[in-house]
Amino acid sequence: MQKEISALIEGYQKFREQYFSDGNSAFTELVRGGQQPKILMIACSDSRVDPALIMNCEPGDLFVVRNVANLVPPYEDDQSYHGTSAALEFGVCVLDIHHIILFGHTQCSGIQTLLEHSSETYGQKGFLTKWMELAKPAHDAVCDHHKDRPLEEKVILCGQYSLINSLKNLQTFPWIATKIKEGSLSLHAWNFDMKRGLLEEYDEKQNCFKVIRSSLPLQVEEGDIQRKPHEEVC
Give per-residue pLDDT as tens, 94-124: 999 999 999 999 999 999 988 887 555 555 6
Question: Which residue from 82, 96, 61 is spatially nearest to 175, judged by alpha carbons?
Answer: 96
Question: Which residue from 157, 170, 171 is spatially nearest to 233, judged by alpha carbons?
Answer: 157
E strands, 25-156, are 39-44, 62-67, 99-105
List Cβ neighbours of 194 (8 Å cut-off, separation of 6 or more).
Answer: 48, 49, 105, 106, 107
Give me the CATH code for the 36-227 domain, please: 3.40.1050.10
CA distance 64 to 46: 13
> In degrees, to the nearest 5, what angle opens at C-alpha 186 toward C-alphas 182 and 188?
160
Q: What is the pLDDT of residues 152-166, one digit of tens each?
A: 999 999 999 999 999
| pTM higher than 0.75 | yes
Average pLDDT, the chain: 89
Q: Where are the alpha helices (DSSP H) in 20-100?
A: 28-33, 51-54, 83-89
Edge-first strand listing for the sheet containing 62-67: 62-67, 39-44, 99-105, 186-193, 198-203, 208-211, 226-227
Q: Where in the chain are all domains bearing CATH 3.40.1050.10?
A: 36-227
Burial of 168 (0-12, 13-18, 19+ CB in 10 A): middle
Identify the bridge partners of residue 203 per DSSP, sorted by sequence position: 208
How high is the pLDDT of residue 21?
Answer: 79
| pLDDT bucket at 22, cuts 50 / 70 / 90 | confident
